[in-house]
Amino acid sequence: MPLLEVNHLHVKLRTHRGPAYAVRDVSFSLERGETLGLVGESGCGKSITAMSLMGLLPENAEVTGSIRFNGEELTTKSDAAMCDIRGNRIGMIFQEPMTALNPVHSIGRQVAEPLRLHRGLSADDARKEAIALLDRVGIPDAARRIDAFPHQFSGGQRQRITIAMALACGPDLLIADEPTTALDVTVQRQILDLISELVAERGMALILISHDLGVIAQNVARMLVMYGGSVVESGPTDAVFEHRMHPYTWGLFAARPGLKSRKGQRLATIAGTVPELVDLPAGCPFAGRCKFTVPECHATPPPPVEFEPGHQARCIRLDAVAAAKREGVAA
């Protein structure tokens, strides 16, 4: 039995402009110790997917489909029951460490909080455990700094503290939502290394959410490319990077400036802008921005097409895309 099994997940947000289909028919599964990346641009539904796993969706959200975690259905659980899982069996690391930490509590108290709440440790034991955790995530002189406050740490150190909080109860699944976007590249590397190390050391499963293809390439074994609320391509990271089957994946790769591109070279762009979730087209979300669009693309959401085992793309024009790629046409 996989650790996490998401089947036909739909999330509808009621907004004043009408319903927004933030997640449309997302399915994936995750084994213990496996790493999965979610990549996409802002508004593609990657954070909403993560929030639905945590049961932290806004009030105006409606979830259909199923999320099974350790064999238990999460979508029908009460708030109280979710509180037992959240922070205990599923840990989460957020993008902005300064807002994820409470500025008026010492870091020791914040790291100890899940230990006292979920594992019922005494204040003394929780403090000892918190020092060990802070030490493990690389806070220098943890025993002395445990009573310091978040503002006394640098951005990278703060993110280490939120990692210690997420790890406190030894979760089965760690969700990291853009954990390094607010950090410098050199610090980003250290934090990503730390997360990888901990995932391997504790046998946790990892869902890493990022808009940065480089971060995904280096840290996860499998990936989902999301666009307009649906998964447009999914598969092993190496295979997705090699084949870039879906025209959106292809365009996303081509649009990135690289350290190897020559100066003065123009970047390939994707025409138009990311659609708003409220006015998503009925058919393929990428239809219209995609230069392979045919009238059928607008009709119904395309079904997943398997390219090789475990590597799928939702596109009805894959043959045309592959042909264009062979001829070396730009996306």
Partner 1 sequence: MSADRPPEGARTAARSAEVSVSAAPLLQVENLVREYAMPREKLFAPPPKVHALNGVSFTIEAGRSMGIVGESGSGKSTLARLVMALDKPTAGSVKLLGRDLHTLPAEELRQARRDIQMVFQDPYGSLDPRQSIERIVTEPLAAQGDTSREERHQRAVDTLASVGLRANDLGKYPHEFSGGQRQRIAIARALITRPRLIVADEPVSALDVSVQAQVLNLMQDLQAEFGITYMLISHDLAVVHHLCDDVAVLWQGRIVEQGPPERLFTAAEHPYTQALLEAVPQAEPARRTRAARAEQIPLATSGQSRG
Which residues contact partner 1 by CB under 8 A? 41-42, 145, 148, 152-157, 184-190, 192-193, 196, 211-215, 217-218, 237-238, 241-242, 251-253, 255-259, 261, 263-270, 273-274
Residue 311: both structure tokens together:
């590597």
**Least distance from C-beta 81 to partner 1, angstroms?**
37
**Least distance from C-beta 64 to partner 1, angstroms?**
28
> Residue 301 has what DSSP assignment?
P
Decide whether 209 or 252 has the Cβ nearer to partner 1: 252
Task: Single out the residue of 178, 171, 167 nearest to residue 47, CA to CA.
Answer: 178
**Least distance from C-beta 285 to partner 1, angstroms?**
13
Decide whether 119 or 253 has the Cβ nearer to partner 1: 253
- For residue 304, the tally of other CB atoms under 10 A from its CB is 16
Decide whether 38 or 215 has the Cβ nearer to partner 1: 215
**Least distance from C-beta 268 to partner 1, angstroms?**
7
Q: Which residues on adjacent β-strands are paired with residue 225? A: 39, 233
DSSP SS3 for 175: strand
Task: Provide DSSP, 217-280.
Answer: HHH-SEEEEEETTEEEEEEEHHHHHHH--SHHHHHHHHTS--TTSPTTPPPP--SS-PPPGGG-
Decide whether 31 or 242 has the Cβ nearer to partner 1: 242
**Least distance from C-beta 254 to partner 1, angstroms?**
8
Contacts 24+ apart (CB under 8 A), 152-160: 153/107, 155/97, 155/98, 155/182, 155/183, 155/184, 155/187, 156/183, 156/184, 156/187, 156/190, 156/191, 158/97, 158/98, 158/101, 159/93, 159/97, 159/183, 159/187, 159/191, 160/134, 160/191, 160/194
DSSP SS3 for 328: coil
**Least distance from C-beta 21 to partner 1, angstroms?**
19
Decide whether 78 or 265 has the Cβ nearer to partner 1: 265
**Least distance from C-beta 319 to partner 1, angstroms?**
24
**Least distance from C-beta 316 to partner 1, angstroms?**
22
Dist CA 296 CA 274 (whole Å): 20
Decide whether 31 or 147 has the Cβ nearer to partner 1: 147
Beta-carbon contacts of 218 under 8 Å, excluding residues fewer than 6 positions away, are: 192
Decide whether 6 or 134 has the Cβ nearer to partner 1: 134
Q: How far is CA 151 from the centre of its chain?
A: 27
Decide whether 69 or 248 has the Cβ nearer to partner 1: 248
Beta-carbon contacts of 318 under 8 Å, excluding residues fewer than 6 positions away, are: 245, 246, 305, 307
**Least distance from C-beta 273 to partner 1, angstroms?**
5
Decide whether 122 or 152 has the Cβ nearer to partner 1: 152
